[in-house]
Chains A and B, each alone.
Chain A
Amino acid sequence: AEVEETLKRIQAHKGVIATIVINAEGIPIRTTLDNSTTVQYAGLLHQLTMKARSTVRDIDPQNDLTFLRIRSKKHEIMVAPDKEYLLIVIQNPCE
């Protein structure tokens, strides 16, 4: 369906290692990783996104979090939050 298409498109980008979709409670719905890693990523990133969002809104209640990027030595984790879901993409930047 469209869902598949969109996810495939994202997955097909250069350097993308994994894609995870989790719901508002942090339970993974869709993933390309194995289960244990997915669950770990989901739990940790869900909490971090909540924290980041509350930080942004504390500073300015009119504001809201739109995107979260974590750059590490090995790769980059990108989180796109929404009201009900969370899209997590892990990419290895070109170098």
Chain B
Amino acid sequence: GHPEIFPLVFTTKTQEIFNCRVDEDVTEENCFKLIKKEDIIQDLKTRATISDFHPVKKVVLEYPGEELLVVFDAKFQYGQNFYFVASEEAKENLLKPPETAEEKEEEEEEEEEENGEETLEVHPYKPPVHKPWISLGSEKEVEEESVKDTVTKIKYMISRVRRKFGAPITFADKNASNVKDSYVECTSYQDKTFSIKMLEKDVGIQMVPKVREASTQTKWAYPKNAATQYFPRQLSNEEKEESQSSEKLKEFLTSVHLRMEIALQQNEIMNAFFDDWKALAEDESSSGGKPDVYLKAYQSFTDLHHLRDRTISCVCWHPTIYGIIAASARKRLSYEEQVNLCDKSLLHQSVILFWSFFDPIHPQLILECPEDIYCFQFSPSDPNIIAGGCINGQVVLWDISQHEEKLQNAKTVADGVKETAVNMVNASVLNILQYIYPSLTQVQQSSTEPPLVRYYAVSSIEYSHKKPVTDIHWLPDYFEDDRVGATSENRAEICVQLVTCSPDSSVLFWDIPATKLPEQPSSEKVKEKKVFYMPPDVPDTFKHLDLCWKPLTKINLCESDTNREYSPIRISLRELHYHYKTSEKVQSVNTLEVPAKESPYREMSTPSSKNLKGLENISTDFSVGTEVSENNRLLMKMLIQDIQKTEQLNNRKHTQKYAIHTETINTLQRSPFFKDIILSIGGRNFAIWKEGVTNGPILQSSCSAGRYTAGQWSLTRPGVFFIGRDDGNIDIWDLLKKTHEISHFQNISESMITFISPWIASAKQHFLAVSDDLGVLHVLEICQTLSDPSRNEHANVLDYFEREVKYLKYCEQEFQEHQEFQ
């Protein structure tokens, strides 16, 4: 710095005193002002501490010169607006250099304002002053970083005698074998003096888990079959009683029954899962365009050998085996002969033929009959027992259990695969031969020949009917009918009773003693109260019955008052719960409805049962359709009391008789869906009856062109039934479509239809067996529209019947009123 420079602040007063007012006396250019020392001292004395020179008072007093220089510091170079130069030398320097430019103008030391001629104030050039270097410690660093030789360098000087340079070379030979391995070399070796010992090494380490192999051996347990048997826990009766009366149960029921009732009511009100879409489709199909209704011809069976000049009188499907159908043949008689049937001894062999779907040419089985069979039935409990009614009034029994297997394997027979290996070769040969040499078949005992089964039992002639047995039925097996399904049977599930009727105005009840029932003791017979003597003890076959078989009961259909005899043609039983032997629970199947006569309703307990439980809840009414000998065909109902009270046997109430049909009733059948609806067909018209409605039939058809000869309800649709005519047509009636005429008809054959039998073989296959007068058995497949019921068909048909009943009542009322009026 400049130690002789003292910055000062000059107040305005001071500036006035010393005439160095800013911008007036002193300007930036003329910034020097010389002030006399005495003036300053005086000022100091007068103003003492407030004088501006006070801080520099000492300097002023010691100032050697007379005049002091004050410089106006416009740029505040030294911090104040003025500065005071304290030494003469500095003053001179300051004044002179600026004055050197103005030397010519000012050389005086007078207080003169400097001219502004010199615009620039240039600092005088000072050559750099050599100052001693102050070390700040950097030489140490330099020293550290510099490389110095720690060791003195070794110097080597190698010399060689000069004369050796360029001297000639002499080579010498050495034998290679002298040297080991014939190889000379100068091997390198490791000189330890030159190796560097490594004192420090970087090594990486990794941790790995220890791996160890180990093994174990387990015990092998071999599989063993184990079984557990359990039965459900049940409370004893006391416990049940106790818990039933407990308070907790009451509380529980009170709290729960409300929920339950709500849910039940919900279900009653509407069906939440009703599929409208589906229902729409079904309605459309039934109401919309004409659906395709047809009976597709499936197969037809005929046998020239056995059925020449014969007609089929009755057709029955085998209840359990699929595709087996049996047909009974009898001699074709003219109408007159038919009416005046008497026992004719026929030379030709009467047979029942068994056909299988899989073999349309050969009958599977032939049942030999003593006489022509008018009607026959499979036993519902054991399809191997067949009962038939002959044209001479006898009842015949067959047992085909030996051939059951053959029938079941009918398919394999048709394919040519024989059961016995012996006949393996002969089989196909025989098939061919059978046609070439018909006589061969009678001689050969091969399996192609349908086996001839002889009847096992024939009833005694004197106790049978006097006229042909026109209808035969197995009586159903009685049981306690629960809502869910019968589980408590009171006896062995065997149908052992038959009922037959014949135009000799009698209805006979037959009892078949159990042949295969091991548990049925003969003591049961004692309980039976019969009018006639019962067949003897339990045998092994029916053979003992042969010609000794007598009926259980006989009912004479005579009107006691008018002494008129009625000739029953058909019987229709009310309760027809047949159980075909199946492994699962017993199912009720409707019987194959052979037109039957209506017999009175009665309660019956089958005597052959083990426990004679009271069966009051089951009614065994049956209706009888008759042909009265005096050309009055009537329909009759009778009421018969409990058969056990035989004294009341003749106490019958005749309820109603109706004369509707012009000719013999050939069909009397209950609807499979409605227990109290009966279809009767005879002559040229048919009628539908409802039990309990005594005014007349609820539906009666008009006279048709042809005679109705056969008829059956459809098994699947409640409002459909089939009628066969004498011109070979099948008429299909659909009560929901039209009730005044047929909905569809189809021609099956040229001759008269003698029998119709529908059958459900499987869910998709519904068959209709139609037999005609020529001895041909046609099997037709019922199309879907005819076999699948529409949604509410049952309800609709029921509705229809009720409407008709109401209408009848109404008519009756009207009639009565009219009568009264008159």
Contact = CB atoms under 8 A, between A and B. Distances in A.
A33 B562 CA distance: 51
B127 to A, nearest CB: 102
Interface in A23-80: 23, 25-30, 33-37, 39, 42-43, 66-67, 69, 71, 76, 78, 80
B285 to A, nearest CB: 19
Contacts of A67: 259, 263
Residue of B243, B250, B255, B256 most packed against chain A (CB within 10 A): B256
B contact face: mostly helix, strand, loop, or mixed: helix
Contacts of B249: 3, 21, 29, 85
A94 B484 contact: no
A36 B485 CA distance: 12
B233 interface: yes
Nearest to A89: B260
In this complex, the interface size class of chain B, counting residues with CB under 8 Å from chain A, is 20 to 34
A14 B244 CA distance: 25
B233 A34 contact: no
Nearest to B248: A84
Interface in B358-411: none
Given A82-B255, A93-B271, A87 B260 contact: yes
A14 B261 CA distance: 11
A6 to B, nearest CB: 5
Nearest to B487: A34
A16 B267 CA distance: 10
B484 A17 contact: yes
B281 to A, nearest CB: 16
B253 interface: yes
B243 A10 contact: no
B631 interface: no
B267 A85 contact: no
Contact of A27 (B235, B259, B263, B482): B235
B223 interface: no
A69 B261 CA distance: 13
B268 A9 contact: no
B208 to A, nearest CB: 46
Contacts of B189: none
B245 A95 contact: no
Contacts of B233: 25-27
B383 to A, nearest CB: 27
A66 B249 CA distance: 17
B274 A29 contact: no
Interface string B224-265: 000000001111000010011100111011111101110111
B277 interface: no
Contacts of A17: 483-484
A21 B256 CA distance: 11
Most chain B C-beta atoms within 10 Å of own C-beta, residue among A9, A26, A35, A80 = A80
A10 B487 contact: no
B488 interface: yes
Contacts of A15: 264, 267-268
Contacts of A28: 234-235
Contacts of A10: 257, 260-261, 264
Contacts of B133: none
A94 B234 contact: no
A89 B250 contact: no
Contacts of A13: 261, 264-265, 268
B183 interface: no
Chain A interface bracket (under 10, 10 to 19, 20 to 34, 35 or more): 35 or more
B273 interface: yes
A78 B253 contact: no
Given A29-B249, A82-B252, A85-B249, A3 B260 contact: no
Given A6-B257, A80-B259, A95 B274 contact: yes
Contacts of A43: 232
Contacts of B487: 34, 36-37
Nearest to B233: A27
Nearest to B234: A27
B267 A93 contact: yes
Contact of B252 (A16, A78, A85): A85
B389 to A, nearest CB: 39
- Counting chain A CB atoms within 10 Å of each CB, the highest count among B233, B240, B253, B487 belongs to B253
A67 to B, nearest CB: 5
B636 to A, nearest CB: 38
Contacts of A34: 482, 484, 487-488
A6 B267 contact: no
Contacts of B245: 1, 3
B267 A80 contact: no
B430 to A, nearest CB: 51
A91 B267 CA distance: 8
A29 B482 contact: no
B484 A78 contact: no
Contacts of A1: 245, 250
A21 B252 CA distance: 10
Contacts of B264: 10, 13-16, 78, 89, 91
Given A78-B264, A93-B267, A94-B271, A9 B240 contact: no
A37 B256 CA distance: 23
A65 to B, nearest CB: 11
Contacts of B257: 6, 9-10, 87
Given A80-B260, A95-B271, A85 B248 contact: yes
A78 B248 contact: no
Interface in B192-212: none
Contacts of B252: 82-85, 87
Nearest to B273: A71
Nearest to B264: A13
A79 to B, nearest CB: 9
Contact of A37 (B265, B271, B484): B484
Given A18-B484, A28-B234, A76-B267, A87 B256 contact: yes
Nearest to A14: B268
Nearest to A12: B264
Contacts of A29: 235, 240, 243-244, 249
A61 to B, nearest CB: 22
A29 to B, nearest CB: 5
**Which 5 residue pairs spanning A and B have beta carbons closest together?**
A39-B232, A93-B267, A80-B256, A13-B264, A85-B252
Given A6-B254, A10-B261, A95-B271, 15 more contacts: A10-B257, A13-B264, A18-B484, A21-B253, A27-B235, A29-B243, A29-B244, A30-B240, A34-B484, A34-B487, A37-B487, A84-B252, A85-B252, A93-B267, A94-B270
14 contacts: A2-B253, A3-B244, A15-B267, A18-B483, A21-B249, A34-B488, A35-B234, A76-B267, A78-B263, A80-B259, A84-B252, A85-B248, A87-B260, A95-B274
